Structure 1
Amino acid sequence: MNTADILIIGAGAAGLTAAYELANAGKKVIVLEAQDRIGGRIHTHHEGASSKHIELGAEFVHGDLPVTLGLLNEAGIKYNPASASMYRYDQGKFTTNEYFIEHWDLLIDKLNKLKQDTNINGFMLKEFPGDKYKELRASVRQFVSGYDTADPQKASCFALRKEWQNEDENAQHRIEDGYCRLMNYLANECKANGGEIYLNAIAKDIYWEPDKVNVITADGITYHAGKIILAMPLGVLQAGGGEKGGITFHPPIKTHQEAIQQMGFGAVIKIVLEFDEAFWENKQTEAMAGKSLKSMGYLFSEEDIPTWWTQFPNRSTIFTGWIGGPDAEAKKDLSDNEILVQGLQSVANIFKFSIDELKVRIKSWHVVNWTAKPFSRGSYAYDTVDAPSARGILNTPVDNTIFFTGEYLYEGAAMGTVEAALTSGKNVAKLLINSCT
């Protein structure tokens, strides 16, 4: 009958958590997922029949995060420490995490004194002008673009101040066999409690009135419910109704749609390279670098693909590249092969290889251009100056009928993480359960 108490659009971390909680509470749930898999921006890829896996999307648990670790413990899924040394490659030299950003303390001091929010780019130009602070401005831009995948011309100073004051650099974890184990647990628990999950179901039109929703998919199937949760990525919600993955509301939900456009959504491209050996650990590299890189977890550079990491402390031949923010947005329309070449050239420049030498050493490669994918359209959210008020609107349901969930609605310090998505999913489920009692 395609009828449920609650429809959920999107089977990523937030949508699956909401489905898991609601089904467990006795609600009839149907989840519609546009892709041919669950997980959203979590995508664990298994190489052939081997047990080896590669994280094409979310990879780390960034801190001792209560909801994520609580669900992993509940599911009996093991996770391991992933803390590692940070290195920087600059002007032919490798420096360890003793590397520091000059004038950083002054930056934090000025941010703490800021009374009215503004974007970080404008703040840096005003407070740190001239050649004296050129490297500081460049470092802040690289950090905001790389780690937050944000546009510095839009990213909120207040949000970055909060983030930088709550960093827990020592607590990092990886999930054994990959993040999708947790997604599968949530999906299986939802199904065990009567929930249904449909893949390749692209929601296109939502016709609604209070306590009544009809969703029509791209293939013409209609689903019915009393309530709906929109659990798609913010970038998809920001797309127009005529774009692939975009949704049209009948009637429009003007205030909420305006709030969606006021929030920031980042851009990212991830490159996963598997080589024939971990050459960054060998004697030749040690001689070239003047030090052992065996404990290297993260490597930052000024190369075209600037950020790289290993699987340390696990011994692995996988080397992962990352570019975010406006620089990733600028590469959105490149082919995977073009991005691969840029990645290989960046690695070649750092480790003093020719690109042809690297090409013959590759066993497998993956380029994941999340910004170009129609059902993600980017990486994760970041706060603009208008985001707090917009978040307040989106955390308020439309006529107790249309609800929103996703990492972009999270209020805590772990913004943009899987923890944020899981927390938002739990919160919207609780809101719905309470509203239906």
Structure 2
Amino acid sequence: MTEAEVLIIGAGAAGLMAARELSQAGKRVVVLEARQRLGGRIYTFSGEGFTAPTEAGAEFMHGEVPLTQSLLAEANIAYHDTAGEMYEVENGQVQASEGMFEDLPTLLEHLQTLEHDMTLASYLAQYFAGEQYAGLRTWVTRFAEGYDAADAERVSVFALREEWAAGGAEDSPRPAGGYSRLIEHLAAACRVAGGQIHLGHVVQTVQWQPGRAQVLCTNGSQFMAKQIMLTLPLGVLQARDGQPGYVRFQPELPTQRAAAQALGFGPVIKVLLEFDTSFWETVGPALQRPLPNMGFLFSDAPVPTWWSQLPEQRPLLTGWVAGPAAERLRHTAPEEVLQQALESVAYLLGSSPAAVREHLVAHKVVNWGADAFALGAYAYATVGAAEARAVLTQPVANTLFFAGEALYEGHAMGTVEAALASGQQTAQKLLACPINPHSA
């Protein structure tokens, strides 16, 4: 039995940020991570035929991210802007694209007049139902489902209004060398301050009472602490008994479980394709529609969103399927998803899957919805999300604390910034909470 003052479940951005704060404040901290690596949904991998570190999870910094920027500066990690042209392909036709951004001012102006929250689907059906708005409806829905991994039937239009007004999607730099460098920085700071991090420890049961909790892992390890912080992904909190990844509480937490169900958590599939050259830049014998200087591309293909590594001249294309489209592929074999990706690239370029495959030197399909320790990619705000977050951010008997990107208040929900901020804020809350074994 290992004892600690604070036990943190999850070594992602929220968990490691909290671990650093608490260990530096003098707490005896132990972090348990189910995976054999740090980072959670931050996953920068090397090898597997790829020529450089590659992001299988979080990749961009969206909008104003002061905490992320401060930590990157502290760790001496640079970041660089994205570059290149934005394209749209619809019905086999290629054109330069502004996406929904050209309609955004008009949309935001109308949204400011809205007095009551509703789902995006209801909003578009009520206020933009005419044929003249067909293009706007398509783009707005695609953007919410693609960028936010949201279900238009559940996502809050008030939350989208706040996010779109902040403009984070138009400004998306990348940390140099990948986000995992930041994760390693936080983990190192935790260890220097005396914190312990145990990988490969899958939490099965949390037995608790006010001022005392015990954690049982599937490998037989047991840990005891006065307080526990759970930075489990929302998908894991939403899991049902018997599902992979499910964590049991004794006694159970029905109010917190119901609050978790009330929030949205979207699946994402990333398809990483590295080629021998950036063959999509110029016309060739088997390529009719080149995409010179392509930065981002949005389309009606099965894998609808793609981006390059520009300004870095690396022949890597990243395919992105999110929201309901990713949900439909949650249990699809990686080989089948790869084939859909190759067919999508071929369609976009006016080529053939065989011709595209000839240039392929490395590939990886990352299906976050099928990952037992994530069961999705990131959260989005539903109608009534504020009330659900308020339940989950309230400590349980000053003993159990929840943190993570899903519980962040602000327009950056679903981002690394949100996870870091939530971890930091929850750590400060824990430090301010006296342990009273008689409280309920």
Deviations 1:94-147 (A, max 9, x none): 322445578655433332221111111111112222433222222121111100
The structural deviation recorded for 1:49 is 9.7
Q: 2:402 aligns with which of 401, 404, 417?
A: 404
Task: Summarize the alignment of residues 54-203 of structure 1 with structure 2, pairs less than 5 Å apart.
Answer: 54-98=54-98, 104-203=104-203
Counterpart of 1:355, as a letter, is P
SS of the residue corresponding to residue 369 of structure 2 reads coil
Q: Which letter maps to 1:389?
A: E
- Looking at structure 1, the residues matched to 171 and 299 of structure 2 have their Cα atoms a distance apart, in angstroms, of 23
Distance 1:40 1:73, change over 3 A: same
The residue aligned with 1:231 is 231
- Distance in 2, matches of 1:303 and 1:221, equals 47
Q: Is 2:246 the counterpart of 1:276?
A: no
Q: 1:309 aligns with which of 290, 307, 310?
A: 307
1:162 and 1:63 map into 2 onto residues whose CA distance is 12
Letter in 1 for 2:39: G
Asked if structure 2 preserves the Cα contact closer than 8 Å seen for 1:121 and 1:153, the reply is: yes
Deviates more, 1:249-258 or 1:412-421: 249-258
**Contact 1:204–1:241 under 8 Å retained in 2:** no
In the TM superposition, residue 357 of structure 1 has moved relative to its aligned partner by: 1.1
Residues 358-405 of structure 1 show CA distances to partners (whole Å, capped at 9, x for unaligned) of 122110100000001110101100000121111111111001110010
Deviation at 1:353, TM superposition (A): 1.4
Q: Bigger shift: 48-57 or 6-15? A: 48-57
8 Å CA contact 1:104–1:136 kept in 2: the answer is no
The within-5 A match list for 1:183-332 is 183-284=183-284, 288-289=288-289, 293-332=291-330
Distance 1:280 1:359 in 2: 13
Distance in 2 separating the partners of 1:327 and 1:99: 19
**1:355 alignment partner in structure 2:** 353
Q: Which amino acid is 2:214 matched to? A: N
TM-score, structure 1 as length reference: 0.95
Q: Distance in 2 between matches of 1:152 and 1:308?
A: 21
Deviation at 1:184, TM superposition (A): 0.8
1:375 pairs, out of 366, 373, 396, with: 373
- The AA in structure 1 aligned to 2:124 is M
SS at 1:191 equivalent: helix
What is the CA–CA distance in structure 1 between the aligned matches of 2:2 and 2:37, rounded to whole Å?
20
| Higher mean C-alpha deviation, range 81-90 or range 145-154 | 81-90
Q: Is the contact made by 2:49 and 2:362 (CA closer than 8 Å) also made in structure 1?
A: no
Alpha-carbon offset, residue 219 of structure 1: 2.1
- In 2, distance between residues paired with 1:122 and 1:99? 21
Aligned residue in 1 for 2:25: 25
Among 314, 332, 335, the residue aligned to 1:334: 332
- Residues in 2 aligned to 1:409 and 1:99: alpha-carbon distance in whole angstroms: 29
Distance in 1 (CA, whole Å) between partners of 2:58 and 2:105 is: 31
**Code of the aligned partner of 1:433:** L
Residue 423 of structure 1 is matched in structure 2 by 421
Q: Aligned equivalents of 2:32 and 2:389: distance in 1? A: 24
Change (3 A) 1:265 1:170: closer
Deviation at residue 243 of structure 1 after TM alignment: 2.0
Compute the displacement of 1:426 (Å): 0.6
Distance in 2, matches of 1:128 and 1:102, equals 16
CA contact (8 A) 2:34 2:201 kept: yes
**Deviation, structure 1 residue 435:** 2.0
Distance 2:334 2:312 in 1: 27
Deviation at 1:159, TM superposition (A): 0.3
Partner SS, residue 368 of structure 2: coil
Contact 1:101–1:139 (CA under 8 A) maintained in structure 2: no
**Is 1:47 equivalent to 2:47 in the alignment?**
yes
1-side partners of 2:20 and 2:304: how far apart? 38
Name the aligned partner's letter for residue 174 of structure 1. Answer: R
> How many Å apart are 1:84 and its aligned residue?
3.9
Listed as ranges, the gaps of 5+ residues in structure 1 are none
Three-state SS of the structure 2 residue aligned to 1:371 is helix
Q: What is the Cα deviation at residue 65 of structure 1?
A: 1.2
Residues 5, 100 of structure 1: alpha-carbon distance in 2 compared, 3 angstrom cutoff: closer
Aligned mates of 2:178, 2:247 — CA distance in 1: 31
Contact 1:83 1:171 in 2 (8 A): no
1:100–1:49 CA distance, 2 compared to 1 (3 A): closer
Task: Give the 4+ runs in structure 1 shifted more than 4 A.
Answer: 48-51, 98-106
- Aligned-partner Cα distance in 2 for 1:381–1:162: 15
Counterpart residue identity of residue 196, structure 1: Q
Q: Distance in 2 between matches of 1:404 and 1:305?
A: 34
Q: Secondary structure at the match of 1:82?
A: coil
Q: Which amino acid aligns with 1:302?
A: D
Using structure 2 for the length normalisation, give the TM-score. 0.94
Q: Which runs of no fewer than 5 residues in structure 2 stay unpaired?
A: 436-440
Alpha-carbon distance in structure 2 between the residues aligned to 1:191 and 1:330: 41
CA contact (8 A) 1:8 1:29 kept: yes
254-263 or 96-105, which deviates more: 96-105
Secondary structure class of the residue paired with 1:62? coil
**Which residue identity is paired with 2:344?**
S
Structure 2 counterpart of 1:393, one-letter code = V
Whether the 8 Å CA contact 2:256–2:391 is kept in 1: the answer is yes
- State whether residues 43 and 55 of structure 1, in contact with CA within 8 Å, keep that contact through their aligned partners in structure 2: yes
Instruction: State the Cα distance separating 1:241 from its structure 2 match.
Output: 3.4
Q: Is the 8 A contact 1:12 1:41 kept in 2?
A: yes
- Gap change, CA 1:235 and 1:364, over 3 Å in 2: same
Give distance in 2, aligned partners of 1:69 and 1:63. 11
Structure 1 residue 244: deviation in Å?
Answer: 1.8
Alignment partners' CA distance in 1, 2:41 and 2:242: 23
1:58 Cα offset (Å): 0.5
Q: How far does the alpha carbon of each residue in 1:47-99 deviate from its partner, in whole angstroms, 9 at most, with x for none?
A: 26987111000111123411101011111122222244322122333322445
